[in-house]
Structure 1
Amino acid sequence: MRTLLLRNWFGNVRSLSSPQIICRHFSNETKNFYDLVVIGGGIVGVASAREILLRFPKLKVAVVEKESKLATHQTGHNSGVIHAGLYYKPGSLKAKLCVKGLKLIYDYLDKNNIPYKKCGKLVVATRKDELETLQNLYSRSLENGVPDVRLIDGKEISAIEPHCLGLKAVHSPHTGIVDWALVTNYFAKEFQQLGGEILLNFNVTKFSESSSPGYPVSITSKDGKQISTKYGLACAGLQSDIIARLSGGAKFPAIIPFRGEYLLLKHEFEHLVNGNIYPVPNPNLPFLGVHFTPRLDGSIWLGPNAVLAFKKEGYRWTDFDLNEFTSIVTNPGFIKLALKYPAFGLKEFYKSCNLNYQVQDLKQYIPNLERNWVEKGPSGVRAQALSVEGELIEDFFFETGNQYPGEFILHCRNAPSPGATSSMAIAEMITDKLNNLFHLSNLNN
């Protein structure tokens, strides 16, 4: 059972335990038949499973997850930010789902007494050549309907973040922080209370034709476990392209893993940062850049950089898999991306090796920051979807195959940030898609 320690912002230190998740004991002697199986125990998969049973309570639904616990990878390794929808192209799914998801998730957190903090966010321009991009970002956030967003001057920046210097900033007061793995476990507990089943240590390696009438898809795990289902939903994150291809899906978009490495402010310097401090994004580069992110335990994460991981789940430099690495670096989309941004890629690798260089980036926003005030912190891996042309797939991407067994499975092949913030809104959209494709309402009668 996971325990979250909360200090600083919530008074005295106290702990909040995750709700107990019960994995059903798997047996090949029992009838492992389902109306729908969700592949992937991250926040999008579990939120969708919960929403499916809220909408269609008579269905028999299972979540299968290859790890020994839920939310192990992207959900459990991200910065914990509740995004408000500043960056995303107006009219895109990301923009619509983020703003809707923001309200849904805050309502859910309040209803279930899950701790969070609306610490706010500043996107800070430190140079005159960033002001036009900042203005465009502000206009975009207004068009997206981001609540209570403002464009503020340097004096107001100092009032919100006394140690931060900037010319102007976009202020989003409703940006917050939360533990997304904890939220996922709350979703999972509710899913179980609705009758859903969770099968852990179930690493899907094969989809095939089932011999059981009415259950056309057989799903086999790496260790030979087998279940049958009428329909499937794959929300497999870093493994989403592999899972899609197992059921006859297209080779692209491909998932390329980028590791983000954070620094930590030492405890005695955590007072330097109150909320999220972000740079103005460079429209010519694919990532947001380093930023300051508070956590619920009071720690302050600095970063991340963005370096190529040597395997899909490569959280350290030493995590290496020859087959995965070869597949990544020979991918035509990745080759084109690397050729497009060679200087950026080299700079990120250099940051990983030289903390002084990363601190210099951060000093643009908090000038009195010193190298000996920081230490190495955690890392996460981002599942970056790429087209064959090497273009970043920025929006949500869904696919259903047109041949057996893919025709019975909906794949969420890309759920980028703000996927966690948007998870409840994504779950509603996915459930609508599943009902339109597979007529779940008829199964629910």
Structure 2
Amino acid sequence: MANVVTSPAGRRATLSLLSVFPPSQSRSFSSTVPRCLDFDHIVIGGGVVGLATARRLTEKRPSASTLLLERHPQPGTETSSRNSEVIHAGLYYGRDSLKTQLCIRGRHLLYDFCSARAVPYKKVGKWIVAQNDAQHEALERIYDLCAADHGLDVPVRWVGRDEVWAKEPFVRADAAVLESPETGIVDAHALMLALRGLFEEEGGTVALSSAVVGVEPLPRSGPQTQKGSAGWAVRVRDAQTGEESTVTAAIFVNAAGLGAVDVHNMIASPEQRRMLYYAKGNYFSYTPAGGPSIRVGRLVYPAPEPGASGLGTHLTLDMAGRIRFGPDVEWVDSPDDLAPRADRLDQALAAIRQYLPSLDARSLAPDYAGIRPKLGRQGAVVEGKGFQDFIVQKEEGYEGWINLLGIESPGLTSSLAIAERVERLLYG
């Protein structure tokens, strides 16, 4: 089968996946039949995490060959491009969780990367607002976690009532405001373009419209304690023609996002298989409709609700300073259910007016929607009952398989740190 791939020099050509690299550049393994592997690494999934991981491998292992497989015609068209584009500080996920560790490390890496590579970003800061005693207590728990000597590096401070009125007169906060000065926003599209460009410049290969339909460990003669120690065969279907071919590698990384559990289940035994749940988030645009125009200079989030599957319908800004709201949480059966729901506008308006009481209903309209991959139907964002952490690990009993599951928020913030962790899991 022929697939469109992009060469390191940026020239587009129609090539067979099996002929991208000549045999002299392939890695040989002993087997029942002499076998040359096509690549050292295959990364499945061209979202921001897959792009960051693939680029990390080419950056740190320049002599190795790396293939990035993406099922859509362009990278980053699923969760990575349908989110709030927020650089999170690491407030919500508990001291010892992988989400907290990777979010904080990723925040530093991301700010540094954006500065070095001219990726647009702004460290605008965030206010978390409480309207009653219970919400105030939730903010106190966040403050205590961040202010304690845990080495978390998550600065926070309380904002006084006079400062609230002076800086954000449209924002209501009857009980308290906690500020996160390290929270920011980033142009996710520009970030992914930069990662892809570096990956290709460093010798990586991108295969688009290439859906993975099967993954199997290659057979090997003699004693074998780990499946995949002879490498992996990845069966790929051309999304346009439906034709299939197989490409092999010593190592593969499952960074397929909304498809990651499907890839996992291609390999795992029945008792190890997982289910993925789809949390749709509807976003709403803000366009002044003749009444007083709301002006806000930072992100505004409601206090987190215990056990909630999201952070509430919050106010975010884009790089031009335009206001938008979202996401809410709507459980859906398909990751393709991406039409924003106009019938959820009243519910969103009621939530937003808790902290922006003067918002004119005529200014709000459905804008877009995204899907968050959840490992549990009621997986909480805030650590506690039902909390679902990131899974970034070598799979036990297998050689050369790194699995990334449940990579939702703060996945964008954590992307460079996840890539760093994957490379260290593979090479120490």
Partners of 2:277 and 2:333 within 8 A in 1? no
Alignment of 1:265-276 (within 5 A): 265-267=286-288, 271-276=294-299
Counterparts of 1:180-195 in structure 2, within 5 Å, are 180-195=188-203
Deviation at 1:254, TM superposition (A): 2.3
Query: Higher helix proportion, which one?
Result: 1
Q: After superposition, give the CA deviation of every residue in 1:21-58 in whole Å (9 maximum; x if it has no partner).
A: 76663316725610110001011111111111221111
What is the identity, as a one-letter code, of the residue corresponding to 2:368?
A: P
Residues 380-395 of structure 1: pairs in structure 2 closer than 5 A: 380-386=370-376, 392=386, 394-395=388-389
Do the aligned partners of 1:252 and 1:387 also contact (CA within 8 Å) in 2? no
Alignment correspondent of 2:5:
none
Q: Structure 1 pair 111/271, CA: closer, same or farther in 2 (3 Å)?
A: farther
| Residue in structure 1 matched with residue 19 of structure 2 by the alignment | 30
Aligned residue for 1:332? none
CA–CA distance in 1 between the matches of 2:386 and 2:259?
17
- Are residue 415 (structure 1) and residue 407 (structure 2) matched? yes
- The answer to whether the aligner puts 1:174 opposite 2:163 as a matched pair is no
Question: Deviation of residue 65 (structure 1)?
Answer: 0.5
Matched with 2:280 is 259
Structure 2 residue runs without a partner (length 5+): 1-8, 22-37, 222-228, 238-242
Residue 152 of structure 2 aligns with which residue? 145
Taking a change above 3 Å as real, the CA distance of residues 41 and 417 of structure 1, as seen in their structure-2 partners, is: same
CA contact (8 A) 2:47 2:80 kept: yes
Cα distance between partner residues in 1 of 2:367 and 2:293? 14
Provide, for residues 178-213 of structure 1, a one-character-per-residue CA deviation record: whole Å limited to 9, x for no partner: 122320221111111111111111100012355899
Aligned residue number for residue 4 of structure 2: none
Aligned to 2:225: none
Counterpart residue number, 1:374:
364
Q: Per the alignment, do residues 171 and 220 of structure 1 end up closer, same or farther by CA in structure 2, a change over 3 Å counting?
A: same
Aligned twin of 1:327:
none
8 Å CA contact retained: 1:23, 1:200: no
Q: 1:165 and 1:175 mapped to 2: Cα distance? A: 20
| Deviation digits for residues 247-273 of structure 1 (CA, Å, limit 9, x no counterpart) | 226655421111100111115676422
The residue that corresponds to 1:248 in the other structure is: 268
Partner-residue secondary structure (3-state), 1:130? helix
* Cα distance change, pair 60–110 in 1 and its aligned pair in 2 (3 A): same
| TM-score computed with the length of structure 2 as normaliser | 0.82
Kindly indicate whether residue 47 of structure 2 is the aligned counterpart of residue 42 of structure 1.
Answer: yes
- In structure 2, the residue matched to 1:363 is 353
Give the total of aligned pairs. 382
Give the AA of the match of 1:368.
S
3-state secondary structure, aligned to 1:386: coil
SS in 2 for 1:420: helix
| CA distance, structure 2, for counterparts of residue 85 and residue 381 of structure 1 | 21
For residue 160 of structure 1, report the CA deviation from its aligned partner: 3.0
Indicate yes or no: 2:417 matched with 1:428. no
Shift of 1:418: 1.0
Please tell me the residue identity of whatever aligns with 1:217.
W
- What is the aligned partner in structure 1 of residue 312 from structure 2? 289
* Structure 1 position 162, deviation (Å): 2.0
DSSP 3-state at the match of 1:258: strand
- Distance of aligned partners of 1:230 and 1:388 in 2 relative to their CA distance in 1, 3 Å threshold: farther
CA 1:152–1:388: 2 relative to 1, 3 Å? closer
Q: Return closer, same or farther for 1:155/1:25 CA change in 2, 3 Å cut-off.
A: farther
Within 5 Å, give how 1:180-259 maps onto structure 2.
Answer: 180-210=188-218, 216-222=231-237, 223-248=243-268, 251-259=272-280
2:332 aligned residue? 309
Alignment of 1:122 onto 2:143: no
Matched, 1:396 2:411: no
Counterparts in 2 of 1:120 and 1:28: CA distance versus 1, 3 Å:
closer
The more displaced of 299-308 and 386-395 is 386-395
Shift of 1:357: 3.0
Residue equivalent to 1:345 = none
Aligned to 1:158: 165
Alignment partners' CA distance in 2, 1:164 and 1:177: 20
Distance 1:407 1:305 in 2: 40
Q: Structure 2 counterpart of 1:193, which letter?
A: E
2:181, 2:282 → 1: CA distance? 26
Label 1:388 to 1:286 Cα distance change in 2 as closer, same or farther (>3 A): closer
Change (3 A) 1:49 1:22: farther
Name the SS for the 2:81 alignment partner: helix
Query: Do the aligned partners of 1:399 and 1:413 also contact (CA within 8 Å) in 2?
Result: no
Structure 2 CA distance for aligned equivalents of residues 389 and 142 of structure 1 = 26
- Superposition CA RMSD, Å: 2.7
Name the SS for the 2:177 alignment partner. strand
SS of equivalent residue, structure 2 residue 328 = coil
Shift, 1:148, TM fit? 3.7
State the alpha-carbon separation in 2 of the partners of residues 153 and 211 from structure 1: 66
1:359 and 1:370 in contact (8 A); partners too: no
Q: Is the 8 A contact 2:286 2:364 kept in 1?
A: yes
Could you tell me how far 1:398 is from its partner in structure 2? Answer: 3.2
Q: Offset at 1:145?
A: 3.1
Identity over aligned pairs, percent: 27
